[in-house]
Structure 1
Amino acid sequence: MVRVAWPGWWLGLLVGAGSPVAAQANLLPPRVELKENYPNPFFPATTIPFAISPEVCSGGHQPVVSMKVYNVLVQVVAIPVMANGSAERMDTLRLRCGQYRAYWDGKYLDGKREAIPGVYYYQLTVDGERYTRKMIAQRKVTSQQ
């Protein structure tokens, strides 16, 4: 402990190194895990895996889940679909806990225009909690001979 004193005043400062093991012991497993999309960079489509832990579904609760894709101007450009064969849009779905995959075909909301190359952000919302990651759309690569 270091003490700095002035007439009528003193300041105590305790400097020490915390234990990394103790800090890690207090960490809880993530309630929701938004994983990196693949492939990344992508063209024309990408898959976005995510997981909802059993703690979220305690007592039979089914969380409300949504996913949106944003451009760098924070404008919604797409809503991915579930990659489980249902192709259901990820907009206020009630899901059970488990592992899931969302799929974005690389097209904007109008379904006609493909995403221009650049940076996009995908955001998963589970019961109001938001999780965001970055992905990159690239140009179609053409081989030249």
Structure 2
Amino acid sequence: MKTLMIYITCLMIPCPLLAFTNYIGYSGAPASNGTCTRSCHIQNSFSPSCQVTGFPEIYIPGQQYLISVHHNGEQPINQFNCSIRNNSDSTIAGTVSANENTSIYNTTNETNGVHWSTADTDSGTFIWTAPEPGVGDVTLYWSGLQGSRANGADQQIVLQASQQSSEIIYVPELPEKISLNQNYPNPFNNATTIPFEISRRCNIVLEISNLLGQLVRIFTISDAQPGCYVINWDGRDTKGNYITSGLYFYQLRTPDGNLTRKMTILR
């Protein structure tokens, strides 16, 4: 995955003192309102540690991806704006849906953007449904403030994804039952992909635990639509630390039953 992180250093321009949840349309994407970090606050009190994970390097058209926003520092993320665009014409790429601690915003020059539903949050997720075949390369634009306007750090993240080769044909289907497929690669070192399917609308949970049954990481999707999903896991626990080598279990929990598989991490 190609990642570009930019620490903003420029002159401050006065901005109305509104609640941070009201700042929308400032993801930094082309034709958006720029970045709120550039227009409202210029903070570099410490090195920011915000991360966006789960966005694939190569996406499957129509596939749904659980994208995670979190940090590895002491300060929560005050607020962020995020948008995913087509590289060819800067229009919205696919569809973003709110999930844990996030909400969708629509404003002039930026529709279907996502940000925190409540300011000063440590982590959350949203769902990106990749566009249909033919769109090509897409880019995720993320801009946010970690900490406060008095003692914080601005950060921008840009992630790029390419469409899966046309040699592989994607045929959207409605699954007949829930299924949990083997993660790939397996064994893995830094990151792995966990694919699964659900056949009806429901709340789902995917839990990762060690051999002692201790919970390592949990992913939740509220009111998930039927279809095929993938979770890209970076091998970190709930505190943002890389877990050690060994055998782990991942379990998909749904109202229709639970499914469990094994995976191996080799550091």
Report the TM range for the smaller structure's normalisation. Answer: 0.5 to 0.7
| Residue in 1 that maps onto 2:257 | 129
TM-score normalised over the length of structure 2: 0.33
Q: 1:73 aligns with which of 212, 222, 239?
A: 212
Q: For 1:92-111, what aligned pairs fall within 5 Å after superposition? A: 92-111=221-240
Shift of 1:92: 4.9
Q: For 1:48-87, what aligned pairs fall within 5 Å after superposition? A: 48-53=194-199, 57=200, 62-79=201-218
Please, what is the CA RMSD of the aligned residues? 1.6
Decide whether aligned partners of structure 1 residues 130 and 35 sit closer, same or farther in structure 2, where only a CA change above 3 A counts: same
Q: Indicate the structure with greater strand content.
A: 2
SS at 2:213 equivalent: coil
Q: Which runs of no fewer than 5 residues in structure 2 stay unpaired?
A: 1-174
Query: How many matched pairs?
Result: 93
Shift of 1:128: 5.9
Q: For 1:108-119, what aligned pairs fall within 5 Å after superposition? A: 108-111=237-240, 113-119=241-247
Q: Which runs of no fewer than 5 residues in structure 1 stay unpaired?
A: 1-28, 80-89, 140-145
TM-score normalised over the length of structure 1: 0.60
> Following superposition, which runs of at least 4 residues in structure 1 exceed 3 angstroms of deviation?
none
CA distance in 1, matches of 2:239, 2:190: 16
Asked if 1 retains the 8 angstrom alpha-carbon contact of 2:178 and 2:256, the reply is no
CA distance in 1, matches of 2:257, 2:179: 12
Equivalent residue letter for 1:35? N
